[in-house]
Amino acid sequence: MQDRPFDIILWGATGHTGRPAALYLQRQYGHQLRWAIAGRDRARLERVRAETGNPALPIFIVPGSDRAAADQVAAQTRVLASTVAPAARYASEMVAACIAHGTHMADLCGELHWLRHMMDTHDPAAQAGNVKIVNCCGLDSIPSEYLVHRMQQGALAQYGEYCTHITNCFSHGHIAVSGGSFASGKGVMEAVASDPAMADMIANPYSLNPPDQLQGPHCPDLGQVQFDADFGQWVMPFPLGQINARVVRRSHALLGYPWGDQFTYREAKLAGRGPLKRLQAELETRLTRLFVEADPRSRSGRFLHSLGPKEGSGPTDRQIARNGPCGFKAVGVTASGKKLKGWMHTHWDPGHGGTAAMLVDAAYCLARRQDEIEAETGRSGGFLTPYLAMGEVLREQLQANAGIHWGLESTV
């Protein structure tokens, strides 16, 4: 990649994740990087610039899905880091521009229908151009994917074999849903309601695998509250688990199935012990299902969705601070029945501050540590999961700079 005026341009810098990302970027890397911010509203961008304490920080205006503006931004940076949502509404032109200009891109998108469309449309060109398009660089799906890879490394080192099944549970932390995230989810619901084939694709646990590998062992998303003996408590469906699990499966597929073609992975949320916790989990699951399964074309569906967060709304800084710390706990089982426990923990909240730090560190690695990454992974382009795009380099970056940690313990 030829030298560019900027290492990173942060697009969507005024949002409820974009603003924390800008502040983290300045605090952690402002003295190391040439960077800029981009968005639709100059006045709001100027307020974010003032908050960073960097009065010389350049600003770019990208008025939504605008190819000319996207080309202008992509041509001037090594990495485009995006917090823009819904991506299906705003980011398609930016993806095309990044590939056309040889610019790596990291984003937070977990919109399954859009990800599938982007992969099918642009993956060959991204591979040919040695451009890395790395989606899901936040809570979905860095904690999950990196925990699974850490557990498989540990299982092989301790037991001489990989886990054939891993259950991973969101264990603590409060996820606050912003208006942009809710709009992203609503966009997926609208796509499902309007196209039966889209509904089938999204329901497929292997829907993000390469196009010729969309099948695998039976492993449906958890649909109801149930007791899990390995965790000794109730577990419940975890909305982000749907995208996290598909990213893990895509990662495994692109590696050539090193853990075996019968490897399965499931994600859930710990719900606690006792009848009261079970009841609370069942009520929460039913309420979530009401929103997710509501037809946005119907009167009742429109009413339900009107109760959700509005675009532009989100938690305050004080609320974000109260929503952490957060983490995951996982149990893996090998072919011979040996078990391994894994965990991920950070002081950050799970949604906005933590996700902002993950995205920024991912963008930093793509911008400044590419030689180390390619020496480790051997991958130079395409639609890649975070682990396949950045390998252990990103784990080191996150542990050293963002305070995000993963660990293991063996069990009987």
Lowest mean pLDDT among 19-23, 178-182, 312-316: 178-182
- Listing DSSP states for 232-275 in one string gives TEEEE--TTHHHHHHHHHHHHHHTT-TT-TT-EEEEEEEEESSH
The pLDDT of residue 91 is 97
Residues 106 and 220 occupy one common structural domain? no
Specify whether 307 is located in the same domain as 192.
yes
Q: How far apart are the first and last CA of the chain?
A: 50
Residue 321 and residue 183 in one domain? yes
Q: What is the pLDDT of residues 349-360, one digit of tens each?
A: 998 999 999 999
Q: Is 87 found in the same domain as 186? A: no
Does residue 86 contact residue 187 with C-beta atoms inside 8 Å? Answer: yes
Does 301 have pLDDT greater than 90? no
**In whole angstroms, what is the distance from residue 210 CA to residue 99 CA?**
19
Token pair of 282 as six digits: 């069942």
**Residue 279 sits in the same domain as residue 366:** no
Confidence band, pLDDT 50/70/90 cuts, at residue 397: very high
User: What Å distances lie between residue 213 and 88, 169, 379, CA to CA?
Assistant: 24, 26, 20
Q: Which residue has the tokens 């542990």?
A: 399
Predicted confidence (pLDDT) per residue in 249-264, tens digit: 999 999 999 999 999 9
Round to whole Å and give the CA distance between 381 and 133: 7
Residues 165 and 307 grouped into a single domain:
yes
Q: Residue 98: which of 64, 63, 134 has the closest Cα?
A: 134
pLDDT attached to residue 57: 98
- Whether residue 110 is found in the same domain as residue 166: no
1 occurs within a structural domain: no
Average pLDDT over every residue of 109-135: 97
**What is the number of structural domains in the chain?**
2
* Least confident stretch, 18-22, 108-112, 191-195, 372-376: 191-195
Residues 243 and 392 in one domain: no
**Between 279 and 316, the higher pLDDT residue:** 279
- Average pLDDT along the chain: 94
Domain assignment of residue 156, given as a range? 142-349
**Residue-level pLDDT at 2:** 61
1 confidence band (pLDDT: 50, 70, 90): low
pLDDT confidence band for 292 (50 / 70 / 90): confident
Residues 111 and 54 in one domain: yes
